[in-house]
Amino acid sequence: MQINRNYLNLQESYLFSTISRKVSEYKSKYPEKEIIRLGIGDVTLPLCEAVINAMEAAVLEMGTQQGFRGYGPEQGYDFLRLAVRDYYTSRGVTLQDNEIFISDGAKSDLGNILDIFGLDNTVLIPDPVYPVYVDTNIMAGRQIIYMNANEENSFLPMPDKEVKADIIYLCSPNNPTGAVYNKSQLKVWVDYALSHNAVILFDSAYEAFIQDKEFPRSIYEIDGAKQCAIEFCSLSKTAGFTGTRCGYTIVPNELVYENMSLNKLWFRRQTTKFNGVPYIIQRGAEAVFTEEGQKQIKENIKYYLENAKIISETLSDMRIWFVGGENSPYIWLKCPNDMTSWEFFDYLLETANVVGTPGEGFGKNGKGFFRLTSFGKREDIITAMKRISNLQF
C-alpha cells in the first residue's frame, strides 16, 4: 500500500488550524484573558428570519408522510437552482438551469472540481491566496506557477503573455487582500484564457460585499467568460451559512475542451461522489433569494461593512498602511515596525489579546502583511480597536 506522497509536500497543517492551535495554547496558559478573534473569516450574526422560517417549515414538512424527502437531486433541487438563476438574471447574467450546481460551499467544490482536469495541467495561482487553491493542487501533484500580487499591482495581478497556464484561479473580491478586479481587468483575463485554451476558476464568495457598481460581481458579466470560466459562490459570507453549508457552482454549457463538455463531466462527477445538500438547508438557501431574504441579508452585510469602517479608521489614525475593507470584509495591513507576519500575530495576541491572520500564511508575498476580518460582533470590534490603538509601535 502506498500513500499519496504529494501530501508530504503540504505544509504541516492548514493555516486556520495552526492559528486555532496557537490560540488554544495561549488560552490554556492564560485562561482569564478575553481573546477577540478576527482571524478566520467566520460570521457572527445569526441566520436571518426569512431563512429560519423557511427551514422551520421544511423541518415540519419532513415530518409528514407527504412532505418527507429522501435522496434529492445531486445537483440541487429545482426550486433553489431557479432562485439562483433568477438572482443572476437580476444582475444581467442569463444562465441555463442545468449550468447551476448546488454545493455545500465554495471550499468543497473548489477542491472537488480538480477531479475533472488532467494531472499534467499547469496551474496559475496568485500569491497571496486562499490556501485551498494551492493545497488541493499540491495534493494532486500538479505543477503550480505563482503570480505576484503586491503593492505595485494593487494586489491585482494581470496575465503575463509569456506564461502558459491551463487552470487559472481568480478570487474577487479577494481573500485575503480585499482587492477587487474591475471589468476591464477581468476582460484581459478572459481574453488570456480564451487565447491559451485555459480555464478560469473564479471564486466569487465575497461578491455580496461589492458596493461599488463599477465592479463586476460575476465573471459572466464579461463577454466570453462563459467559454472559459467556472464560477464558485457560497452563502457562507453572503447569508451567514458558514455553519449551515450551502453554495453554488456555475459550469456553463459553452465550456468545451478536447470536444468534451465540462458541464457533463462535472455532472458525472457530482452524481457519483456527492449526494446533494440537505432539503432543509436548500429551503433555507432559497429564502436568501426572496425579496425579504435579500433585504435581511443586506442589513447583515451593512453591519459587517460598518465594522470594516471602524477597523479602517483605527488603522488610518495609527498611520498603518492597509487596503480592502470597502467592497470586502477583509482588511489587509502592513505589519508595523517591520515585524514579520507571525511576529505581529504573537504581538497582537499577547499584548492586545486580538487574533488576526498572518499574511505569510497566504503565500510569500504575504510576508510582512496581516489580515483582519470584519465579521466580528460590533462590541468586539470596538474593544479590539481600542486595544490596538493603545499599542506602541
Cβ-based nearer residue to ligand MLT, 41 or 376 = 41
Question: How far, in Å, CA of 268 to CA of 276, rounded?
Answer: 13
Cβ-based nearer residue to ligand MLT, 58 or 311 = 311
Per-residue contact flags (x/-) with ligand MLT for residues 232 to 261, judged by CB under 6 A: ----x-------------------------
**What phi, psi does 214 have (nearest 5°)?**
-70, -20
Residue 86: CB partners within 8 Å, gap ≥ 6? 289
- Binding span for ligand MLT by CB under 6 A among 37-45, 84-92, 285-293, 342-350: 37-45
Q: What letter would DSSP give residue 33?
A: -
The reply on whether position 107 binds ligand MLT by CB under 6 A is yes
Contact residue for ligand MLT among 40, 45, 265, 318 (CB under 6 A): 40
- Binding span for ligand MLT by CB under 6 A among 36-44, 157-165, 274-282, 321-329: 36-44
The reply on whether position 41 binds ligand MLT by CB under 6 A is yes
Minimum distance from CB of 377 to ligand MLT (Å)? 16
Per-residue contact flags (x/-) with ligand MLT for residues 113 to 132, judged by CB under 6 A: -----------------x--
Cβ-based nearer residue to ligand MLT, 107 or 283 = 107
Q: Is 325 exposed, middle or buried (0-12, 13-18, 19+ CB in 10 A)?
A: buried
Cell numbers linked to 159? 496575465
For residue 248, which of 290, 210, 288 has the smallest C-alpha distance? 288
Check if the beta carbon of residue 279 is closer than 8 Å to that of residue 77: yes
The reply on whether position 142 binds ligand MLT by CB under 6 A is no
Question: How far, in Å, CA of 82 to CA of 68, rounded?
Answer: 21
Cβ atoms within 10 Å of 63's Cβ, excluding its own: 9
The reply on whether position 23 binds ligand MLT by CB under 6 A is no
Q: Which residue is nearest to ligand MLT (CB)?
A: 41
Check if the beta carbon of residue 128 is closer than 8 Å to that of residue 365: yes
Minimum distance from CB of 192 to ligand MLT (Å)? 26
The reply on whether position 175 binds ligand MLT by CB under 6 A is yes
The reply on whether position 75 binds ligand MLT by CB under 6 A is no
For 231-254, letters b (16+ CB in 10 Å) and e give: bbbbbbbbbbbbebbbbbbbbbeb
Footprint of ligand MLT on this chain (CB under 6 A)?
40-42, 107, 130, 175, 236
